[in-house]
Chain A
Amino acid sequence: MAKVLVVTSGKGGVGKTTSTAALGAALAQMGQNVVVIDFDVGLRNLDLVMGAERRVVFDLINVVQGVAKLPQALIRDKRLENLWLLPASQTRDKDALTEEGVKRVIADLKTKFDWILCDSPAGIERGATLAMRYADEAIIVTNPEVSSVRDSDRIIGMLDSKTARAERGERVEKHLLVTRYDSARAARGEMLSIDDILEILATPLLGIVPESQDVLRASNVGCPVTLNAASSAPARAYTDAVRRLMGEAVEMTVPVERKGLMDRLLRRRAA
């Protein structure tokens, strides 16, 4: 049974697109059939982070409007044959995306894939509500920073009220993914800790992605970090998160760079 997952946050710049690419690739690396959909109409970027920007012909809106068939718009990843991308349109007309159209596209994708990852735009407007509309589960990407936590709280409220599942009286399973985490700064009291965030948002933790140069390096070259630097700390964090998504019990840690003795000494378990 296909699962529809929305990657959302409210606030921009916290790592939704990076996380969608990394999680999608990690799922595909485990043999799952995965499609990632960019819902950021007008400001598409998932294609760029996935390294497929030069192969975009048709997009989600073309499919919704019947200009293109779904198989024509899907772009297959060059590295993983079971990873696909449905890009967003660059047209500025956000209204081109309709609830009915999105419903149809997702229903169609459900017959072809195991996982459908919807990369939500920032904000709480139409694009964001449509991205979460038909989700079975949600990944809320949060930075250890006050504005991000506040916006996550807002989005959690929307997931509980504005989704198709919520309206049917069912629930959207929510997972918190903390990104750009710095254990050392949190330990010094300079940054909200994982415990602080969990206490405030009261949402189960899916993973902790440490702040890392590998993330920027991966997006620079257009390759999900789980593929580009599979043994890096953020890649291991995303891979662990995916294993948890698939129901495995994986101990919650903050992966650290595997370098010298100092790193090993500083290795710290998340509370």
Chain B
Amino acid sequence: MMNVMRLFGGRAASAPVARERLQILLSHERGRTGTPDLLEMLRSEILGVVSKHIDVDPDKVVVKMDRGKFVSMLEVDIEVPNGVQRSKMVAAT
């Protein structure tokens, strides 16, 4: 029925898109309320690990999350300047 209507110039139904977007979003949002922002936590811990070994500018660390229905993609971008200095912590050990 919906396909027939689409044949006669109707637009593609948008409700299924709305439904799927909501399902993905809410599956991530549920249970997360009240806990500190996951991304910020990941950012600071990853930064901590990396800066044990090399000096990085905290502002140059970008953490992105792309939430999918089945898998999510966590992307961490750390800008490392050329001629990077080994972190003092490492140098001391």
Contact surface of A with B, Cβ cutoff 8 Å: 145-146, 149-150, 153-154, 157, 161, 186, 188-193, 196, 199-200
Contact A193 B15 (CB under 8 A): yes
A54 to chain B: closest CB distance in Å?
A: 41
Question: Contacting A150 at CB < 8 Å: which of B14, B19, B25, B34?
Answer: B25
Q: Which residues of B contact A186 (CB under 8 A)?
A: 15
Interfacial residues of chain B within 1-50, with CB under 8 A of chain A in the complex: 2, 5, 10-11, 13-16, 18-19, 21-23, 25-26, 29-30, 33-34
Number of A-B pairs, beta carbon distance below 8 Å: 45
5 closest cross-chain pairs (CB), A and B? A189-B13, A196-B19, A189-B15, A146-B18, A153-B26
Complex alpha-carbon distance, A157 and B26, angstroms: 11
Contact A189 B16 (CB under 8 A): yes
Secondary structure dominating the interface of A: helix
Contact A146 B13 (CB under 8 A): no
Complex alpha-carbon distance, A133 and B5, angstroms: 48
- The contact sample of 18 A-B pairs, CB cut-off 8 A, is A149-B22, A150-B25, A153-B29, A154-B33, A157-B30, A157-B33, A161-B34, A189-B2, A189-B14, A189-B15, A189-B16, A190-B13, A192-B15, A192-B18, A192-B22, A196-B15, A199-B19, A200-B23
